[in-house]
Structure 1
Amino acid sequence: MHDKELRQKLAAETGQIAWQELERHFARGVVVVVTPELDLVEAAARVAEDDKRALEEWMNRGQIVRATDDHARRWTDSECTLWAVVVAPWVLVQGSRSLSVH
């Protein structure tokens, strides 16, 4: 798939979802948090393209991390809604600064 087509497809598949609907994916260990500084669709495209260099750089900066129990507790307590997109087997999510990684 062409870069532009991939990004358009991912953008069309990105939407808001309640945390409660993501909990089962979290339990499977496949929820990945993308900080608000990054574009969620671009991050998803890099995952789909297996761009190891970009992903490693973002992981080293803490801009992409696997969701932790702390994330899950905060999201449950706030009854939040997150932006999400699936790049199988991963579910990439992004919330506001107060709900994301730190």
Structure 2
Amino acid sequence: MKTKPENDTDLRIKINRETARLPWSELEKHFAQGNVVYVSAELDLVDVAVRISHDDKDSISGWMADGKVAKVTDVQAATWAAADAQLWTSVVSPFVLVQPEKTKLH
């Protein structure tokens, strides 16, 4: 397991500040370029962005193997377009990470 660099807190704050909700319609051009990555609601979007920034191959490949991180599929894109979905987004160039809103459990 990799240790986190000292500047990890600053990076986490920066990514958190840049995370926003966007309508799928604003993300479609990035999807067309193959740069949109789905992040499961089970994961913390900011944590995934930080790990990708650090090129943490072990974590990323584990999430991919579990289907928790993957390129957005045509079916997901069509579903979000039809629903005019709002998604949480975080940019880790060249990728745009997207995560559906978490449903609140009460």
Q: What interval of TM-score do these two structures reach, taking the shorter chain for normalisation?
A: over 0.9
Partner of 2:82: 77
CA distance in 2, matches of 1:97, 1:65: 18
State whether structure 2 residue 34 is matched by structure 1 residue 8.
no
State whether structure 2 residue 57 is matched by structure 1 residue 46.
no
What is the percent sequence identity of the aligned residues?
44
Give me the CA root mean square deviation. 1.4
CA distance in 2, matches of 1:80, 1:65: 18
State whether structure 2 residue 17 is matched by structure 1 residue 23.
no
Alignment-mate amino acid for residue 86 of structure 1:
V
Alignment-mate amino acid for residue 62 of structure 1:
G
Query: What is the Cα deviation at residue 97 of structure 1?
Result: 6.2
Partner of 2:70: 65
CA distance in 2, matches of 1:12, 1:68: 27
User: What stretches of structure 2 of length at least 5 have no aligned partner?
Assistant: 1-5
User: What stretches of structure 1 of length at least 5 have no aligned partner?
Assistant: none
TM, length-normalised to structure 2: 0.89
Partner of 1:32: 37
Partner of 1:91: 96
Higher helix share: 1
Q: Which runs of 4+ in 1 moved over 2 A?
A: none
CA distance in 1, matches of 2:39, 2:77: 14
Instruction: Say whether the 8 Å CA contact 1:15–1:85 is kept in structure 2.
Output: yes
TM, length-normalised to structure 1: 0.92
1:5-56 superposed Cα distances (whole Å, 9 cap, x missing partner): 1100000000000000000000000000000000000000000000000000
Structure 1 or 2, whichever has the larger Rg, is 2
